[in-house]
Amino acid sequence: MDSARSWFQKFQPRDKSKSPAVPASHGKDPGKPPVDDAPSSATKQKVAAAKQYIENHYKTQMKSLQDRKERRWMLERKLQDAEVPAEEQNNILKHLEKKETEYMRLQRHKMGVEDFELLTIIGRGAFGEVRLCREKTSKSVYAMKKLKKSEMLRRGQVEHVKAERNLLAEVDSAYIVKLYYSFQDDEFLYLIMEYLPGGDMMTLLMRKDTLTEDEAKFYIAETVLAIESIHKHNYIHRDIKPDNLLLDLSGHLKLSDFGLCKPLDSSNFPNLNEPDYTPGKGAKPLPDNTSRLTNSSAPKRTQQEQLSHWQKNRRMLAYSTVGTPDYIAPEVLLKKGYGMECDWWSLGAIMYEMLVGYPPFYSEDPMSTCRKIVNWRSHLKFPEEAKLSSETKDLISKLLCNVEQRLGTKGAHEIKAHTWFRGVQWEKLYQMKAAFIPEVNGELDTQNFEKFEETGAQVQSSSKAGPWRKMLPSKDANFVGYTYKNFEIVNDDEVAGIPS
């Protein structure tokens, strides 16, 4: 409550001459025209932000109380089910209470970037970078995603960034990257996540060219479970692509990058709604590079030629500001209004790439890719050389199709039941041996990631990162309520240190 009050006070107008604390009519000079005492828009904004902060504060407190009760209840139930002797039960419950006390202490600590030692950069995206870091006190290693607020605002991504933070804090699944903390300073938002040292699926696919059916089945099945877990919480990813499928130490897959779909600025793309581009109709003449793939008079590329073109372009596409549209569903591109089915389309495109070597609508030019996607009926082809089984082609065709016919429209169970997945033990998948075990030597090993150059000054040297910064609330009302701490940050060593 105290912090809420002091934060509220910070939001009160400071310049009394502009926004008087008493109504303007009190003590005014009767000879002067009446002063407009309506609050300025800046004041209104501050009031709205303060209101949101207070609401958020109480919501968080209620939620943490409820979570605490739930943790206790779950543990009690587990202990009873396991018929643990009464004395041992008592000790275990006491241990939980100590962890709760430590968690409350950590909750009061205002987290900042200075709490972390910044290590190697492992990723760069449209809004910032991802790097390996180590928390100074606990020595735990994490991945820190840093997003520039001004860039998020400029590109209208504020709602997306909030959605990402909410989803990560809400969905607890083995197939979703775990969020430990989120916080902000004047310039940046930070997500402190578990570090997944196996690299991303894009890198794995570039190394392997294609996967065998069994290898693809393993990763596609885990992707199904990841997508199912976010859909259960009513989130749609919209931007599922191999770059967002990360591998943990044991080679299991986790979905990341939520709600931060790169803004596929429609002004950059051809008018996909033009009559000539409607699905099923004859396509407009395409630029040279794509007409080679569809025009019978132009030489057709072999699967191998297409694969090497794709691989040459892949990284460049991934790091471009527009991003790759290769996995985006036609209804998303056409801005028709879309639902969760769009994620199942992306699954189909990834499955195709795993088995063929490049995505189904690949073209060197992203605009042509978009055209091919919306005209998927005339562009979805399975190259002979890929020797896909009829079951494989059937599943891909049931994912890369109209929304109404698409598998998964009634739920993930429709996809899981397809014969291509025969033999998959869905419940045990995460406990099974992964298709590839990544090579990782030590907790700071980043060999499965690209090398990135350091650019400009490091965040730690920022003049805004002094200890006094912790005393100030962040000025930016757009990102109120971003802070989060996961209960799992409390480890047993810290609990052992608390005097009982």
Ligand X SMILES: Nc1ncnc2c1ncn2[C@@H]1O[C@H](COP(=O)(O)OP(=O)(O)OP(=O)(O)O)[C@@H](O)[C@H]1O
Binding mask 426-455 for ligand X (x = CB under 6 A): -----------------------x------
| Contact status: 353 vs ligand X (CB under 6 A) | no
Write down the least CB distance from residue 491 to ligand X, Å: 19
Instruction: Tell me how far CA of residue 257 lies from CA of 34, 251, 307, in angstroms.
Output: 54, 18, 26
Given the residues 185, 239, 243, 257, select the one marked as catalytic: 239
Only one residue has tokens 């190697």, namely 120
| Contact status: 220 vs ligand X (CB under 6 A) | no
Instruction: Tell me how far CA of residue 364 lies from CA of 174, 293, 304, 321, 326, in angstroms.
Output: 36, 11, 15, 16, 11
Nearest to ligand X by Cβ — which residue? 125
**Interface with ligand X: number of residues (CB under 6 A):** 23
Write down the least CB distance from residue 122 to ligand X, Å: 5
- Give the separation between CA 358 and CA 349, rounded to whole angstroms: 9
Instruction: Tell me how far CA of residue 447 lies from CA of 194, 361, 365, in angstroms.
Output: 17, 31, 31
Write down the least CB distance from residue 256 to ligand X, Å: 5
- Give the separation between CA 224 and CA 229, rounded to whole angstroms: 9
- Give the separation between CA 411 and CA 323, rounded to whole angstroms: 28
| Contact status: 246 vs ligand X (CB under 6 A) | yes
Q: Of 190-198, 349-357, 421-429, 470-478, which part binds ligand X (CB under 6 A)?
A: 190-198
Q: Nearer Cβ to ligand X, position 45 or 138? A: 138
From 411, 410, 379, 385, select the one nearest 397 (Cα to Cα).
379
Q: Return the structure tokens found at 446.
A: 């980043």
Q: Of 28-36, 42-50, 195-203, 393-401, which part binds ligand X (CB under 6 A)?
A: 195-203
Choice from 49, 111, 122, 216 touching ligand X (CB under 6 A)? 122
- Give the separation between CA 401 and CA 407, rounded to whole angstroms: 9
Coil, helix or strand at residue 423: coil
Q: Is 44 labeled as ligand-binding?
A: no
| Contact status: 168 vs ligand X (CB under 6 A) | no
Q: Nearer Cβ to ligand X, position 102 or 243? A: 243
Q: For the beta carbon of residue 141, count every other beta carbon within 10 angstroms.
A: 18
Write down the least CB distance from residue 45 to ligand X, Å: 28
Q: Nearer Cβ to ligand X, position 31 or 156? A: 156
Residue 445 sits at the vertex; the CA angle it makes with 444 and 448, to the nearest 5 degrees, is: 140
Only one residue has tokens 């030692």, namely 117
Tell me whether residue 15 is one of the annotated catalytic residues: no
Binding mask 123-142 for ligand X (x = CB under 6 A): x-xxxx-x------------
From 362, 332, 355, select the one nearest 220 (Cα to Cα).
355
| Contact status: 188 vs ligand X (CB under 6 A) | no
Residues annotated within a binding site for ATP: 145
What residues line the site for ligand X (CB under 6 A)?
A: 122-123, 125-128, 130, 143, 145, 177, 193-196, 200, 243-244, 246, 256-257, 260, 262, 449
List the catalytic residues: 239
Residues annotated within a binding site: 145
